[in-house]
Structure 1
Amino acid sequence: MLKIKDARVVVTCPGRNFVTLRIETADGLYGLGDATLNGRELAVVSYLADHVIPCLIGRDAHQIEDIWQYLYKGAYWRRGPVTMSAIAAVDMALWDIKAKAANMPLYQLLGGACRTGVMVYGHANGQTVEETVDEALKYQALGYKAVRLQSGVPGLPSTYGVSGDKMFYEPADGALPTENVWSTAKYMRTVPKLFEAARLALGDDVHLLHDVHHRLTPIEAGHLGKSLEPYRPFWLEDATPAENQEAFRLIRQHTTTPLAVGEVFNTIWDCKDLIQNQLIDYIRATVVHAGGITHLRRIANLADLYQVRTGCHGATDLSPVTMAAALHFDLSIPNFGVQEYMRHTAETDAVFPHAYSFKDGYLHPGDAPGLGVDLDEGLAAKYPYSRAFLPVNRLEDGTMYNW
């Protein structure tokens, strides 16, 4: 038995807020789990500190599956981002401990490597099409095989995905939510021009991706996907809000552009119909918001039956703990597709020293025991929590809309 002796939550803000769970065993081993929920961080802190940690003390850290089921089924109020982020943090920490106890990198415990590296995509953005393409060329020069393209929309004061910080885009930008303005018509005129220019500049060997961020109706999404087909997108992400999974059937009827969705999903039930009806091509559920490695493996196994590949969310609102967990997961599954990789700031990397590394468009988790990530708690304490909200979005007539 590997008895859990203690657990605590560490909140730090080295440029943005992160919530980290540290679980310690009586044998002296410890594991880390990420519990960050962008804009709602303290809700997960309370869930862990007040409701989860007291239930962990004295349990066997080796019993990962049983503890997962205990926290999920035992709560009665199942699912949801707060619950599942808390469960994910426990799950990651326990896998970290188990792999350290075995003295091997986690991917070896998950079945070993299915590939030599994990293909990642970076974020190219700019106020104009030309600026975005210039940024995409910089990523290509760094060796990236895949690049996400986000451009400002003429006539709109701000646009999702466009930031002055090219490598470290952080949307949670205010102590109260800022308000953005949106026009679907103006946006729809811009994206095909962006892809036309990017394909011409970058050639045929770089994968091009785009995030709609849940802002279109299904028929609008079908129209956009059709207009992008000549430029062979790798995927069109979050084309419409996915609460209504059936909506993707209508998109499918109008375009062969590959579809990706799922960064806001919390359980296999959020994506079951999309996968088994083959309405998507990539499932983007992430380790931290979908119940940890244990549950994400179930989602990937289901997806594999229907030739759906993974494309896990990996923006800077996920700490290096989640990035490492995602890489071990990515390396070990047969139906991996691509991994989002938005680089963290130097301050974040110092707080979370890690073994994963980037080379020629690929990440590798490294071969340190466990996840290969640590937490410098002394340094973390120098960056206290700072309230930060994600923006909200309104149409030009003032109607609340999807951000």
Structure 2
Amino acid sequence: MSKIERAEVFVASPGRTFVTLRITTSDGVTGHGDATLNGRELAVASYLRDHLVPLLIGKDPARIEDMWQYLYRGAYWRRGPVTMTAISAVDTALWDIKGKVAGLPVYQLLGGRSRDGVTVYSHASGTDVPSLLDDVERFLDLGYKAVRAQAAVPDVGGSYGVRKGKVYEPAATSLPDEQPWDTEAYLRFAPTYLEAVRERFGFGFHLLHDVHHRLTPIEAARFGKSVEDSALFWMEDPTPAENQEAFRLIRQHTTTPIAVGEVLNSIWDVQHLITEQLIDYVRTTVVHAGGITHLRRIFDLAALYQVRTGSHGATDLSPVSLAAAVHVDITVPNFGIQEYMGHADETMEVFRNGVTFADGMLHPSEEPGLGVAYDEKAAERFPYRARYLPVARRLDGSVHDW
């Protein structure tokens, strides 16, 4: 019987920092998992190396469910982003191995296709309204059927989501960038540029917007009501999710759909949001929510309440996570949409991509497993660099949600 013989943790910064787990069986089969937690990468790397890897050696790689329960319930200390990201890496790597052993892509092991492809959205942004409109046009010309729109609030340097280079990456390379924020200026400005997008391009595509936790519940309700004529596919993270009852207040004031979940990491974190139908899309990810095994449980619960999926897919999720997400997305009946930003050229020197883009959709590889490879030698050219996400401060100097 095959056993786990080796588990290695790689930390590299090709374009941004990724933590990658590689598990090798006694039969020589390898599987990869993503263990990246943006800005806290070394915490997960240590959790894996110092606490989980010793537990894996000698175990049966085919017992994925048992391994998940062993690492989650057996540790006593449960949940949290560091723990769940580490478990995710193990779980994803074991699914990769299972697919290779079976000679099938992972999605076939999950029940096969429920759709022909996975509809994705990408990020259009601009330093002002004209440059945003030009960027939206660029994505529509590339074949996207869904686009997220963000523009810099005039005279406010801390606007979220505005790309500075080819790929949007907010993490800085030293200490956190402290950025100013003005909620009232945002509430006045953002609805105007979303309306401008609709005026120029019409309603033949999905338009999304990310509030990024920056509003109070009543402010979010005000925003959602103000953009109803723009027919947003969703407003993302309108308020921090610690107080989940807050979303009921938003619901009372607007019909704009709500998407939440990229910073949540277990079914228990989203249970109330789903069962009380306080959200329309759940954005939990394969890398932060316990891997393929646990993400499917979240999506199954969501399906019972007509909540659809909309998984986070920023550049801090490696190509391993992206491939795993697409394998799940293409199988679940309540799929909604998948975020897709692409990766920097340096990233793709280290990872072989496991998905292809065509006609506004991603398609999984037909290779056994996830179809992703990790080039350890190439990764050595990109040593670890510390990066931090920004911190937002109101104009009076107090800390705000970034």
* TM > 0.5: yes
| Cα distance in 2 for residues equivalent to 1:285 and 1:36 | 14
TM-score (norm 1): 0.99
| C-alpha displacement of 1:345 | 1.0
Check the 8 A contact 2:150/2:210 in 1, yes or no: yes
| C-alpha displacement of 1:323 | 0.2
1:160 counterpart letter in structure 2: Y
User: Matches of residues 3-402 of structure 1 in structure 2 within 5 Å?
Assistant: 3-166=3-166, 168-402=167-401
| Cα distance in 1 for residues equivalent to 2:119 and 2:163 | 24
Check the 8 A contact 2:158/2:392 in 1, yes or no: no
1:29 counterpart letter in structure 2: V
Check the 8 A contact 2:120/2:338 in 1, yes or no: yes
1:175 counterpart letter in structure 2: S
Check the 8 A contact 1:300/1:335 in 2, yes or no: yes
| Cα distance in 1 for residues equivalent to 2:105 and 2:201 | 36
Check the 8 A contact 1:3/1:26 in 2, yes or no: yes
Residue aligned with 2:226, SS: helix
Deviates more, 1:199-208 or 1:261-270: 199-208
Check the 8 A contact 1:174/1:390 in 2, yes or no: no
| C-alpha displacement of 1:71 | 0.5
| Cα distance in 2 for residues equivalent to 1:212 and 1:287 | 22
Residue aligned with 1:332, SS: coil
| C-alpha displacement of 1:163 | 2.1
1:35-85 residue CA offsets vs partner (Å, 9 max, x unmatched): 000000000000000000000000000000000000001111100000000
2:168 counterpart letter in structure 1: Y
| C-alpha displacement of 1:203 | 1.4
| C-alpha displacement of 1:129 | 1.5
1:296 counterpart letter in structure 2: L
Deviates more, 1:29-38 or 1:122-131: 122-131
Gaps of 5+ in 2: none
| C-alpha displacement of 1:347 | 1.3
1:170 counterpart letter in structure 2: E
| Cα distance in 1 for residues equivalent to 2:133 and 2:271 | 36
| C-alpha displacement of 1:269 | 0.8
TM-score (norm 2): 0.99
| C-alpha displacement of 1:133 | 1.3
1:332 counterpart letter in structure 2: T
Gaps of 5+ in 1: none
2:295 counterpart letter in structure 1: L
| Cα distance in 1 for residues equivalent to 2:157 and 2:354 | 40
1:1-22 residue CA offsets vs partner (Å, 9 max, x unmatched): 3310000101111111000000
2:366 counterpart letter in structure 1: D
1:327-360 residue CA offsets vs partner (Å, 9 max, x unmatched): 0000010000000001101111121012310001
Residue aligned with 1:271, SS: helix
- The Cα RMSD (Å) is 0.7
Check the 8 A contact 2:18/2:36 in 1, yes or no: yes
| Cα distance in 2 for residues equivalent to 1:132 and 1:165 | 14
| Cα distance in 1 for residues equivalent to 2:49 and 2:230 | 49
| C-alpha displacement of 1:155 | 1.8
Check the 8 A contact 2:15/2:345 in 1, yes or no: no
1:208 counterpart letter in structure 2: L
What is the number of residues matched between the two proteins? 402
Residue aligned with 2:55, SS: helix
Residue aligned with 1:209, SS: strand
| Cα distance in 1 for residues equivalent to 2:246 and 2:35 | 30
| C-alpha displacement of 1:174 | 2.9
| C-alpha displacement of 1:399 | 0.6
Check the 8 A contact 2:36/2:85 in 1, yes or no: yes
2:240 counterpart letter in structure 1: P
Residue aligned with 1:223, SS: helix
1:282-310 residue CA offsets vs partner (Å, 9 max, x unmatched): 00000000010000000000000000000
User: Once superposed, which parts of structure 1, at least 4 consecutive aligned residues long, lie more than 6 Å away?
Assistant: none
1:246 counterpart letter in structure 2: E
Residue aligned with 1:78, SS: coil
| Cα distance in 2 for residues equivalent to 1:251 and 1:231 | 18
Check the 8 A contact 2:13/2:382 in 1, yes or no: yes
Residue aligned with 2:333, SS: coil
| C-alpha displacement of 1:158 | 3.1
Residue aligned with 2:31, SS: strand
